[in-house]
Chains A and B, each alone.
Chain A
Amino acid sequence: MSQEVIDSRIGKEYSAGFITDIESDTLPPGLDEDVIRFISQKKGEPEWLLEWRLEAYRGWCEMEAPEWAHVDFPPVDYNALSYYSSPKNMKDGPKSLDEVDPELLATYEKLGIPLHEQEMLAGVAVDAVFDSVSVATTFREKLAEAGVIFCPISEAVHEYPELVRKYLGSVVPRRDNFYAALNSAVFSDGSFVYIPKGVRCPMELSTYFRINEAKTGQFERTLIVADEGSHVSYLEGCTAPMRDENQLHAAVVELVALDDAKIKYSTVQNWYPGDAEGKGGIYNFVTKRGVAHRNSKISWTQVETGSAITWKYPSCVLRGDNSVGEFYSVALTNNRQQADTGTKMIHLGKNTKSTIISKGISAGKSSNAYRGLVRMSPRADGARNYTQCDSLLIGDRCAAHTFPYIESRNPGAVVEHEATTSKVSDDQLYLCQQRGLDAEKAVSMIVNGFCKEVFRELPMEFAVEAGKLLEVSLEGSVG
């Protein structure tokens, strides 16, 4: 397609851009041990957790921000960020939706996340995170009946200290990497999920993240433990209001799938990507990892259209024999967005299997990199990996890169890798237009077709949403 057409379509405003006017209790910028003590004390945390945070902080001080990713941005001044913020009148936490600040609810409404409706909709329990404090949790009772625990992690620290203490940091150690260490030191809040032995979680679990405070880093911490033989499907969706300053988001997600358990973790990420010139937007530096025990399965599905910079590699450590890891990803970049994303599949157990399906879509002047590691340990007899990595280019000013790393120390392990790069061709667009479709509709249809294998993996209602999200993200970028 012609560059003019592309240009003429650049400039669609981010529709979730607005700022909620809620008084908040924000710490002045800066980070030191006192700040960590303040956070811990604010949350009334036990001594062990404070020590845990401080230890992480000391580790972080010795680390440097990684530079190997295929992204380019000015260094972040960590002392210019504030590490705690909570909506003021929420201190005691609402018991029900009625107690939630109406303005807050209106905020979600604007984002198209009506909690009330969702309560009625096909059993989706929502743990909404507003800045650093969880403000609304629904369906707790129904889940409690099944013995499922789904609550803010700050609450779990008090209510289920043994579980939290046992598993926190067990998958992503405190000093795992720069951003994970930072998160461990200052994590604000996030979700905790525990599915007891043999239980199938009766509904999709869902969390919406939202970043609202100017210059406030957001440090979510999610921990999901699926006990033996249990099943759970968890969906995370994100969006953020418009901002001129870049905002840092360094989350950590830990998944533990014990023997015979299944965890499906789906993400639809729509954070503010910055404007057409690359100004503003979220920096998304996330560590997501799961450990799969014997016969268990961990499946990551992600649809990423937001953020100015994405640095993210949801991974599976296939520890137990016969465990299965899956990674299905759609990453779309437009304008000046940069994404370096992919996965790690670490095969430790025998007959472990992993599948990686990555679909990268680049438009505008964006850069989209897939980085994937498949490691076959000496013990991983009969292990198999299949990787398919497809890139789709829209226009001719964007870029796609693929960095597959394969480390096989087991001669019997099988690693297959396929990669393709294609363009939305002028002929395809012409065919669509000759049949009455406008260029925008045509591109979104072609892109959706390209992503089909991944969308298939999303829970039904979100597959539709993901399709729409791509359409919105592509508006203003293609022709």
Chain B
Amino acid sequence: MLKIQNLHARVEGKDILRGLDLQIGPGEVHAIMGPNGSGKSTLGHVLAGRPGYEVTDGSVTYRGEDLLAMDTEERARSGVFLAFQYPVEIPGVSNMEFLKASVDAVRESRGDAALDAVTFMKRAREACKAADLPVDFLKRGVNEGFSGGEKKRNELIQMMLLEPSLCLLDETDSGLDIDALQVVAKGVNSLRDGKRSFVLVTHYQRLLNYIEPDHVHVLAGGRIVRSGDKSLALDLEERGYAWLEDEVA
């Protein structure tokens, strides 16, 4: 599904990713943990193709293709989805309008016919239900005045409707209350179908109680410094990151 080799990237002239390697197979769930500022969000943005994020070395192959050669929207259309750590607001543009336009664009690029309004509405309502947000939220401006947790759940709605192949969730669990955490976990688990892959960036082992990862990685200083199974997350919870950083040094 995804193969990252020796990835180096810089933002505003600052080197952030420094030789990152990661391989993700179809249907796998990978958790990425690591200290603040280590480059986790940067990785997500580099994969999603955020303008201004410059790749200085290395390669990323996505489903056999050179991901880095694709435009931002092409990546999205080919199934790369990033749930943002800090979702932005688009005042005046209704969630519904935004979702419909996105779904249409993605479907069109795949050669699928646009969904008729009734089918789309049905799916949008289901997604709201799964994310435990009232259907009214579809009429509100994109993230406009949403609470932190509501914004995160709104990301889940988008993910469900766009049916991506590779889901990157950047701290979707941060700022969620305990019930909402379960809602998000349930949403993610419902999307697991043996083919779709997930990268969960998180600071909390708790999320992994609900979504069982196949692999856990620690990102520090712009590289993966340790990989393991879910027991690694438990170790980290207990011991923090200092011992790893010491080991790496």
Contact = CB atoms under 8 A, between A and B. Distances in A.
Interface of A: 1-2, 425-428, 430-439, 441, 445-446, 448-452
A438 B71 CA distance: 10
B90 A428 contact: yes
Nearest 6 A-B pairs (CB), nearest first? A449-B92, A449-B93, A435-B102, A436-B105, A433-B72, A436-B76
A392 B105 CA distance: 25
Contact of B76 (A427, A433, A450): A433
Given A435-B76, A435-B158, A437-B105, A445 B93 contact: yes
Contacts of B32: none
B92 to A, nearest CB: 3
A355 B42 CA distance: 46
B51 A2 contact: yes
A355 B95 CA distance: 28
A427 B88 contact: yes
A436 B72 CA distance: 8
A181 B49 CA distance: 58
Contact of A450 (B71, B73, B92): B92
Contacts of B97: 445
A339 to B, nearest CB: 21
B98 A436 contact: no
A436 B106 contact: yes
Nearest to B168: A434
Sorting the interface of chain B by its residue count into under 10, 10 to 19, 20 to 34 or 35 or more gives 20 to 34
Contacts of A2: 51
B77 interface: yes
Contacts of A435: 76, 98, 102, 105-106, 158, 162
Contacts of B101: 437, 441, 445
A424 to B, nearest CB: 10
A435 B81 CA distance: 7
B72 A434 contact: yes
A436 B102 contact: yes
Contacts of A452: 92
Nearest to A452: B92
A428 B88 contact: yes
A430 B53 CA distance: 12
A436 B77 contact: yes
B87 A436 contact: no
Interface string B145-169: 0000000000000100010000000
B76 A431 contact: no
A351 to B, nearest CB: 32
B91 interface: yes
Given A431-B84, A445-B98, A437 B91 contact: no
Interface string B97-127: 1100110011001000000000000000000
A436 B93 contact: no
A478 to B, nearest CB: 14
Nearest to B48: A434
Contacts of A426: 51-52
A448 B101 CA distance: 13
Contacts of A427: 88
A431 B91 contact: no
Given A441-B105, A449-B91, A452-B92, A430 B50 contact: yes
Contacts of A1: 51
Contacts of A428: 88, 90
A426 B90 CA distance: 12
Contacts of A437: 73, 101-102, 105
